[in-house]
Structure formats: C-alpha cells, structure tokens
Amino acid sequence: MIRERIADDIYVFTSRRYAHVTCGAILTKEGVVLIDTLFYPDEARDVRDFIENKLGQQVRYVINTHYHADHISGTWLYPHATVISHARCRELIDTVGRKGLKLTKKQSKEFANASIVLPTLVVREGELDITVGKKTLRLLHLPGHSEDLIGIHLLEDNVLFASDTMMPLPTFFDGDFDLLQASLRKVNEMMPDTVVQGHGEVILRGELNHAIGNHIDYMNKIKDEVELLIEEGLPRDSLDQISIESCGKSRIPLNGFVVDLHVANLYCLYDQLVDAEAARPGLNGHQS
Ligand SMILES: [Zn+2]
C-alpha cells in the first residue's frame, strides 16, 4: 500500500497488490471519514492501523462508493463506523457482493475473517451533504461505471473522490455507456482542484479537461469501431483486432490491466449493439 498526503488532513492510499485501487481518509476533529477500504485484508488492515495507531484517530464513517469488492472488502474492519452508500449499492452488496465473498473465501484463505457489511445510511436520489467536523462532504450519484456509484465532493478543499468514474481507462461493462459519458461531463463541469481516481494516480485540475476529453474520445472511438465490425458482419471474436492503442489509449497503466478492461468494454458494447439492433421495430416482421 502506498500512502500519499494530498492536503493537511487528507490521505490517499493506493494498493500495490490490486490494480492500483485507491481509498481515501479525511481527518476531522470529529473523527475520520474513510472513502472505500482497498481489497486485500492485509492492505486494508494497514490503512486501519495507520489511522488508528499512527494518527490515533477513529474512523467514524465508511463510505462505499460502489459495490465492487476491490473497493469495499475491508468495510468489516470498522465495526463501530456508520457505513454509507447509494441505496442500490446496499442491494447489490446484499446479493452479488454476498455471493462474490463466498467464492473469494473458497479461493483464498486471506479472506477467512472477512464478512459482508450492509450500509445503514443510504442516498437514493439527488445529493446528500454530510458535515463532519468542519468538512462538508457532498455525495452525488455518478452512474455509468456501475449503476450505484457515488462520488464524494469535499467542498472546503474542492477535492472530488470520483471512484471508478475516473480511472486510466473508462469502463462501463457493469454499467452504461451513455451514463458514464454523462458522469464524466459532470465531473468536468464541477471543476475540482484535485480528483482522486478509483484506480491510479491523483489528477490535478490542469490535467482534468484533457483526461476527460481523452476518455470521451476513447469511448466514441470504440463505439465507431464496434459498429463498423457489426455492419461488416464480422464475428464477435474479431473484436480482439481492435487494439487499445488504435483507440487512443496506452496499454501501460495499471500494469497492463487496462488491456483486459478494454477487451471487456468491446465485448460489452458489441453485445449491447447487437441486442439493440435485434430489438428494433420492423425487423423480423414485428412492430411494437
Ligand atoms: Zn474498481
């Protein structure tokens, strides 16, 4: 785990073991707000030990930005904290997350003590402001990477914890292409000074416009490429010919994991576009 201090009272922790996933800690006089927890128990424990033993502070709130296990698996390490998420996130943790943890426990002894924690405070629509100490955290729905994703805008510092809305490669295979583009535009319009991504390095204001433009261009490019392939009647596995570089992205970030994410994006888009075409009225003689 790599620890970085991005302000007097804000820390970002980045995993060395899983896809540079991040979590953040906001220190206040009324306790710590932890945004996500990292994935592997040893790294999640290191974060807790740093906050509780090195800093001598207690975690009062844990925010689950979305239900994906790489972000929230360490929530059980904070039994006295109030856990906050989107309402849909709570449902997904209770269903998909619960099944996933069972499987993870079978695959790895490391997770023997881990358990599912359901958030007790949920935001369903609009925004929710939480004031802790002198900090105001604005929770806002940023769907697209997944349907339940929330970002956290720390108003006094103008820091946005964007979770996986911002990562080196935009991904929507468990979410929605159009919603992700809308959420990326929303992040850009907010003009945060600092963006903590769900994976990878912190982004500063001067870099944000370019990063988001590049993400949106990438998404448009893969859509064009996949549409072309469908029009030409090429089989699904010819998607493998569409390289990440030809869509304007490098294969280097996240130790090359972005290539897997790129392929998953392509296959998801292909299936969605083929399904949409099949559902169009007028085909197969059906009108609706
Ligand atoms: Zn993630």
Beta strands, E only, the chain: 2-7, 10-14, 22-28, 31-35, 59-63, 82-86, 121-123, 127-132, 135-141, 150-154, 159-163, 194-197, 203-204
**133 and 264: one domain?**
no
> pLDDT digits over 18-38, tens only?
999 999 999 999 999 999 999
Ligand 1: centre distance to CA 197 (Å): 9
Ligand 1: centre distance to CA 233 (Å): 33
**pLDDT higher than 90, residue 278:** no
**pLDDT higher than 70, residue 282:** no
Ligand 1: centre distance to CA 115 (Å): 19
> pLDDT digits over 62-118, tens only?
999 999 999 999 999 999 999 999 999 999 999 999 999 999 999 999 999 999 999
Ligand 1: centre distance to CA 24 (Å): 14
Is the Cβ–Cβ distance between 243 and 274 less than 8 Å? Answer: no
**234 and 150: one domain?**
no
Neighbours of ion ligand 1 (CB under 5 A): 68, 70, 164, 198
Ligand 1: centre distance to CA 65 (Å): 10
Ligand 1: centre distance to CA 111 (Å): 18
Instruction: Decide: pTM greater than 0.75.
Output: yes
**229 and 127: one domain?**
no
Ligand 1: centre distance to CA 284 (Å): 40
Ligand 1: centre distance to CA 71 (Å): 6
Ligand 1: centre distance to CA 170 (Å): 11
Average pLDDT over residues 168-190: 97
**247 and 192: one domain?**
no
Ligand 1: centre distance to CA 53 (Å): 27
> pLDDT digits over 185-203, tens only?
999 999 999 999 999 999 9
Residue 202 to residue 20: CA distance in whole angstroms: 11
Ligand 1: centre distance to CA 272 (Å): 22
Is the Cβ–Cβ distance between 110 and 41 less than 8 Å? Answer: yes
Candidates 86, 105, 254; CA nearest to 175 is 86
Ligand 1: centre distance to CA 283 (Å): 38
3-state helix, strand, coil in the chain (%, to 5): 45, 25, 35
Residue 224 in any domain: the answer is: yes
**159 and 271: one domain?**
no
Residue 213 in any domain: the answer is: no
Q: Which residue has the tokens 């924690």?
A: 117
Range of the domain at 272: 218-278
- HSE, CB side, 13 Å, CA atoms: give it for residue 7: 19
Which region holds residue 93: left if phi is over 0, alpha if psi is between -120 and 50, else beta?
alpha
The structural domain count of the chain equals 2
> How distant, in Å, are the alpha carbons of 136, 141, 150, 151, 186 from that of 127?
12, 7, 10, 10, 14
Pairing, β 150-154 against β 203-204: unpaired
Ligand 1: centre distance to CA 280 (Å): 33
Ligand 1: centre distance to CA 74 (Å): 14
Residue 127 to residue 83: CA distance in whole angstroms: 17
**148 and 234: one domain?**
no
The sign one gets for the Cα dihedral 99, 104, 107, 112 is negative
> pLDDT digits over 239-260, tens only?
999 999 999 999 999 999 999 9
Q: How far apart are the first and last CA of the chain?
A: 54
Residues 6+ apart with CB under 8 A from 209: 188
DSSP 283: G
Strands, sheet with 2-7, edge to edge from the N-terminal-most edge strand: 2-7, 10-14, 22-28, 31-35, 59-63, 82-86, 121-123
Ligand 1: centre distance to CA 16 (Å): 14
**199 and 227: one domain?**
no
**109 and 162: one domain?**
yes
Ligand 1: centre distance to CA 257 (Å): 12
